[in-house]
Amino acid sequence: MNFAREILDARNPLDLALVELSREGSRREWSFGEVADRAARLAGALEALGIRRGDVVMTLIGNRPEWVLSMSACFRIGAVVLPCTEQLRAKDLRLRIEVARPAAIIADERNRAELEGARSGVRVIYVPDESLFEHEPAPCADLDASDPCLITFTSGTAGEPKAVLHAQRYLLGQRVQAEHWLGARPGEIVWCTAASGWSKSARNVFIAPWLSGAAALLHDARFDPLERLELLERERVHVLCMAPTEYRVIAKRATLRPLSALRGMVAAGEALNPEVLRAWKEATGLEIHDGYGQTETGQLTGAPAGQAARPGSMGRALPGVALSILDGELMLDPVSAPTFFLGYLGEHVTRDDGRWRVEDRRDGGPWQTGDRVLEEDGWLYFEGREDDVIVSAGYRIGPFEVESALVAHPAVAEAAAVSAPDEERGAVVRAVVVLRDHTLARTPQLVRELQDHVKRETAPYKYPRIIDFAEELPKTASGKIKRAELRGE
């Protein structure tokens, strides 16, 4: 098997593959023929530098064609690609380099200072560099489904990130979620806004759209709620994939409006609040189809494309994916998940003298997700992380329900609920709140107003007995709230 040969090279060379919106404001369309040719030539350049099948190539590039070309070049020759987000600092980069031991790094010139600060000693290829595309195209390697393909570091809320190694099966395995959740159609434009370097970008920025015969939009710029809506309209995006945080912020800080070309919206990473779901539905007439997956597993659930979503639900198990609930925790039979990982570097996977030694975690029995869920008629509802659930005076309180109540208040932009120790109750709910208006006085009266609001919105025992205010919430690169940091762990 080979993704480059079976998907990229097989497409009509005249079909649209990418729409590039640069940071400087320029726009360019890329055909599949252009992408295939340049990716093959970049693969030839890597081989000329001594990069071979199984070698690790790290990328530090934003959402721009050079990143897609680098990923595709590695897929072509069987190199193992490690995409990194540009938000990483020298210390973060050093950790990834030490763990993954890349043979080369492809980086945007704008990241030179940070890379040099990492003092890696690894060969760095800076882009843009047109000379990289003057080499003869490299042939596609014949790969096995279990051959190493992709490394993604987890965005854990505690401890150092772990390196997750995926196999070649991960790429073509995206067909399931692409068809049954993302739902793009041939000739459409898909915009997955995830920054290069975290798991959703590795599967939904261009891989899943291409598997569906669609094109991918690449926007290399910081998140701006007003600009996001303008671009959706101008570029006539058909399918939108955003982080829940982005949907929330746009709903709070911009005026939502109908988007004529938009046909579908999906989200994954955290549960979406009912208030946000209502705002988008009222403005666009469309429902946001939530889904769920992990860095290790890939997508596992989704509100089925073409069907009505259920507010608050992360959908049903994708076709063929065997999920169960044990004592409230979501469990997975790894053999049923086509995108399940090979293992963690340093645990199930080692590499000596350039050779990979893998004990495929898929054969290691049931996978405990660590996420607590509820089930109703096959639809799953996220309750909280096993270590995030708050137990107060015997009540089990999921942080999401407290946060949903808080963000329904007009003064609140974002909120995070965590456990705080209490002598009488064992623990109480502590909320950290970001206000929409940063100049609003943070008075005891406002605290009481927010507490009373939560009591009206949900069961009174869930209300936050402690409310603190912050300018922003600590988050991982993928936009997930770092609850452990808020708990002081």
The residue type of 389 is: V
pLDDT of residue 461: 80
Residue 378 burial class via C-beta count within 10 angstroms: exposed 0-12, middle 13-18, buried 19 and up: exposed
User: Does 445 lie in the same domain as 297?
Assistant: no
User: Does 453 lie in the same domain as 358?
Assistant: no
The residue type of 471 is: E
Structure tokens at 52: 């071979």
User: Does 392 lie in the same domain as 378?
Assistant: no
Asked whether the beta carbons of 101 and 76 are under 8 A apart, the reply is no
User: Does 295 lie in the same domain as 430?
Assistant: no
Among the three residues 382, 399, 433, which one is the final residue of a domain in this structure?
382
pLDDT of residue 195: 87
Give 210's Cβ-side CA count (13 Å radius): 29
Nearest to 106 by CA among 77, 138, 68, 67: 67
Domain interval for residue 134: 3-382
User: The domain that contains 440 carries what CATH number?
Assistant: 3.30.300.30
Asked whether the beta carbons of 238 and 266 are under 8 A apart, the reply is no
User: Does 310 lie in the same domain as 200?
Assistant: yes
pLDDT of residue 477: 66
User: Does 220 lie in the same domain as 122?
Assistant: yes
Structure tokens at 43: 């693969």
User: Does 132 lie in the same domain as 115?
Assistant: yes
User: The domain that contains 374 carries what CATH number?
Assistant: 3.40.50.12780
pLDDT of residue 396: 64
pTM: 0.84
pLDDT of residue 489: 55
User: Does 400 lie in the same domain as 366?
Assistant: no
The distance from CA 109 to its chain's CA centroid, rounded to whole angstroms, is: 24
Among the three residues 382, 409, 435, which one is the final residue of a domain in this structure?
382
φ and ψ at residue 435, rounded to 5 degrees: -85, 150
Among the three residues 382, 408, 440, which one is the final residue of a domain in this structure?
382
- Cis amide linkage into residue 311, ω under 30° from 0: no
Say if strands 316-317 and 298-302 run parallel, antiparallel, or are unpaired.
antiparallel
d(CA 253, CA 245): 12
User: Does 404 lie in the same domain as 348?
Assistant: no
User: Does 219 lie in the same domain as 71?
Assistant: yes
Per-residue pLDDT tens listing for the chain (489 residues): 999 999 999 999 999 999 999 999 999 999 999 999 999 999 999 999 999 999 999 999 999 999 999 999 999 999 999 999 888 888 889 989 999 999 999 999 999 999 999 988 999 999 999 999 999 999 999 999 999 999 998 754 444 678 999 999 999 999 999 999 999 999 999 999 998 987 889 899 999 999 999 999 999 998 999 999 999 999 999 999 998 878 988 998 899 999 999 999 999 877 787 888 999 999 999 999 999 999 999 999 999 999 999 988 999 999 999 999 999 999 999 999 999 999 999 998 999 877 999 999 999 999 999 989 999 999 999 887 777 878 787 676 878 879 988 999 999 999 999 999 887 677 899 999 999 998 899 999 999 999 999 998 887 888 999 999 999 999 876 677 888 889 885
User: Does 349 lie in the same domain as 405?
Assistant: no
DSSP for 331-398?
A: EE-GGG-TT---EEBTTTEEEETTEEEE--GGGS-PEEEEEEEEEETTEEEEEEETTT-EEETTEEE-
User: Does 371 lie in the same domain as 227?
Assistant: yes
φ and ψ at residue 40, rounded to 5 degrees: -65, -40
Q: How many domains does the chain have?
A: 2
pLDDT of residue 155: 54
pLDDT of residue 120: 84
The distance from CA 62 to its chain's CA centroid, rounded to whole angstroms, is: 14
